[in-house]
Amino acid sequence: MNQSKNTIRNLFNLLFLLLVLECASSKMNPSMKLLNRPIRKFELPELDHIKELAKTEDDLVKIDVIGEVTHEGVTYPIHSFTLGTQDTSRPTIGLFGGVHGLERVGTQVVLSYLTSTLAQLKWDKDLRRTLEKARICSVPLINPVGMSLHSRCNGNGIDLMRNSPVEADPETTYPLLSGHRIGDWLPWYRGEVEKEMEIEAQAVVNFVVDQIFKADTAITIDFHSGFGMKDRLWYPYAKSKEPFPDTPAIHKIVEKLEETLPHHVYKIETQSDSYTTHGDLWDYLYDMHKNTPGSEDKLYLPWTLEMGSWAWMKKNPLQAFSKSGFFNPIKEHRVSRIMRRHLLLIDFFFRMTRNRKAWRYEI
């Protein structure tokens, strides 16, 4: 056990050192790309995939462009998908990916699920009946500029998951990692004080408020990678180690998960058990929902799935020499496995929203 913890700690320290060294060397040598402001643009097959899915014509499917981001003369759309009834009070699951541009696998998992569901809608009458009374809402690629630049941050050098006006407990935060305001040449930059949230972050907030807040029961999952040896299911808070107000609901869901998927691979914990951060979007949205008039009888639970990408590097050490390799599976068979791995979890959470009486507690 101690050896395993040491291995994880060493890998984390190595990643942190490489990130900081790259930033420092870039700053000293302008010919080198900055970690947060790369020069080279990469292909964006994920956006091409989204545009293909956006051609879907079905009464139960609504696709919108909820925002646009322009970078160096190129405009990138931010798409949303709503599958099911347009009655926003009905049970809802939300799926989000691509907050950090380096973490392509999160967007790919969401797109894998959406592709499968849209194909199934063509022939599955049971699914159609389900979606007449429930909803799937998704923004699969939140940070298209960051993904096109192969960068964690957006085009302005800002970490979107540190960008909300949430201040973490200073006694539990880490220098840089938890979010900072030093400058956009370092990773985890929050942006300037009292500035409005970035277009991408605000688009997510607006979408969640409009499409998810009114649901009687709503669960969202934000897909990430780049931390740890195990897949972690995180629930709030990221800002503090204080008890999460809806912990009883979390415990009920975890109990059902253990009964339903006894061989699941997830380590379930509050995010602050791993580290705390400033500016977490889901902390911000959860607290906003709690303080929204009329939400007293509603339940909104935001989860984050942090895929344990260090295990991929352990199995394929050469990918540690690629920045993408820290965050994404490289081997083709492993990519396919990851695309399949989390479909049962998404389905489980969707069923939970539709069967709240089986696990609800008095709010």
User: Cα separation of 77 and 25, whole Å?
Assistant: 33
What tokens were used for 81? 């998908």
What tokens were used for 276? 């705390």
Q: Read off the pLDDT of residues 77-135 as tens digits, 9 standing for 90 and up.
A: 999 999 999 999 999 999 999 999 999 999 999 999 999 999 999 999 999 999 999 99
Q: How confident is the model at residue 43 (pLDDT cuts 50, 70, 90)?
A: confident
User: Cα separation of 356 and 92, whole Å?
Assistant: 11
Cα-to-chain-centroid distance, residue 97: 5
The answer on pLDDT for 34 being more than 80 is no
The answer on pLDDT for 8 being more than 70 is no
User: Which residues 6+ apart lie within 8 Å of 76 measured at CB?
Assistant: 47, 68, 69, 70, 144, 145, 148
User: Which residues 6+ apart lie within 8 Å of 250 measured at CB?
Assistant: 235, 244, 301
Backbone angles phi, psi at 303, to 5 degrees: -115, 155
247: part of which helix (H) or strand (E)?
A: helix 247-260
The reported pLDDT for the residue numbered 320 is 78
The answer on pLDDT for 178 being more than 90 is yes
Question: How many other β-carbons are positioned within 10 Å of the β-carbon of residue 319?
Answer: 20
The reported pLDDT for the residue numbered 361 is 61
The reported pLDDT for the residue numbered 286 is 98
- CATH superfamily for 43-358 is Zn peptidases (3.40.630.10)
Q: Read off the pLDDT of residues 335-353 as tens digits, 9 standing for 90 and up.
A: 899 899 999 999 999 999 9
Question: What are the residue boundaries of the structural domains of the chain, listed by start?
Answer: 43-358
User: Cα separation of 90 and 85, whole Å?
Assistant: 8
The answer on pLDDT for 324 being more than 50 is yes
